[in-house]
Amino acid sequence: MAADAIRLSRAPLSPVRVSFEFFPPKSPEMEASLWEAINRLAPLSPSFVSVTYGAGGSTRERTHNTVARIVRETSIKPAAHLTCVAATRDEVDDVVRSYWAAGVRHIVALRGDPQGGLGTAYTAHPDGYATSTDLIKGIRRIGDFEISVSAYPEKHPESASIDADIDVLKAKIDAGATRAITQFFFENEHYLRFMDRARARGVSIPIVPGIVPVQNFRQTAGFAKKTGASVPQWLADRFEGLDDDAATRRLIAAAVAAEQVLDLVDHGVSDFHFYTMNRADLVYATCHLLGLRPRPEQEAA
């Protein structure tokens, strides 16, 4: 058996906690498929579900509406992503206040990408929050929110080094962040080494691995390139020749995700954040392998 093949016999799994990330829908059809995914995943009792904020604040209304509907219609706790991009501090503060008024108590606070696209220089709005650290301080002034932030096991593309990124993470924690969620990665070694370095530098908050089940290899590889996440050759090899074979790709994707999360469990990881891409099937299967089973009382309305 190849060294990196899935191991089929394992000791019983210790309990794990999961969270799910969705993006706000653009059309009634997308809204229907988002809610199908939420309804399928809600009975797995996620710690929270988060809803992203489009580049440049382009989804402000849609993110808010989605999060508010989760509050109204489900018993799961939502987290709203929020960025500093292209908005004044007053505008961002209004968004934060509207979340508080809607009953939302958890924000994923981010700087956001440069408006010119990844790879261009980031320019803060002259009257806006300049960094994620400033944003966190602003949120804290408004309400006692739980605040999650990003972390980059393979470093942020703009950052000089992983240590510089850990400095930024520490500044975000000093400002009030209580959890980090990582950019996705495929080699667990990147995450495990990052954890060692962060812990050695005194970071003690949870740093939850972000897991992306590979729904579409080409698309994921393209996205990874932009975000600085490396795509190992073994992953490309696993999807080789399957561009026109979606059914086999899905089976491979489930195997790859299972292999990744079960290896992390073996390394003592107990919390996972899934980038669902608004689809439940692969994430549901991966959670099942992690030992999670539906609890009917958590179902969305």
State the Cα–Cα distance between residues 230 and 236, nearest whole angstrom: 11
Residue from 49, 104, 110, 231 in contact with ligand FAD (CB under 6 A): 110
Q: Is 55 in the site for ligand FAD (CB under 6 A)?
A: yes
Q: Is 19 in the site for ligand FAD (CB under 6 A)?
A: no
Of 220 and 239, which has the nearer Cβ to ligand FAD?
220
Q: Is 132 in the site for ligand FAD (CB under 6 A)?
A: yes
| Of residues 150-169, those binding ligand FAD (CB under 6 A) | 150, 156, 158-159, 168
Phi, psi values for residue 19, rounded to 5°: -135, 155
Q: Is 81 in the site for ligand FAD (CB under 6 A)?
A: yes
Instruction: Candidates 65-73, 97-105, 127-135, 190-198: pick the segment binding ligand FAD (CB under 6 A).
Output: 127-135
Q: Is 276 in the site for ligand FAD (CB under 6 A)?
A: no
- At 116, the amino acid letter reads G
Q: What is the 3-state secondary structure (H, E, C) of 266-297?
A: HCCCCEEEEECCCCCHHHHHHHHHCCCCCCHH
What is the pattern of x (binds ligand FAD, CB under 6 A) and - over residues 188-227? ----------------------x-----------------
Residue 188 Cα to chain centre, angstroms: 16
Please report how close the Cβ of residue 132 comes to ligand FAD at its closest, in angstroms: 3
- Measured from the Cβ of residue 124, the count of other Cβ atoms closer than 10 Å reads 15
Instruction: Candidates 39-47, 103-111, 139-147, 240-248: pick the segment binding ligand FAD (CB under 6 A).
Output: 103-111
Catalytic residues: 21
List, in order, residues 6 or more apart from 87 with CB less than 8 Å away.
57, 95, 125, 128
Q: Is 45 in the site for ligand FAD (CB under 6 A)?
A: no
What are the angstrom distances between the C-alpha of 222 and each of 204, 214, 228, 240, 294? 33, 12, 10, 15, 34
Instruction: Candidates 69-77, 107-115, 246-254, 293-301: pick the segment binding ligand FAD (CB under 6 A).
Output: 107-115
CA atoms within 13 A on the CB side of 240: 7
List, in order, residues 6 or more apart from 97 with CB less than 8 Å away.
142, 143
Q: Are 194 and 208 in contact (CB under 8 A)?
A: no
* Contact residues: ligand FAD, CB under 6 A: 52-53, 55, 81, 83, 108, 110-113, 131-133, 150, 156, 158-159, 168, 171, 181, 183, 210
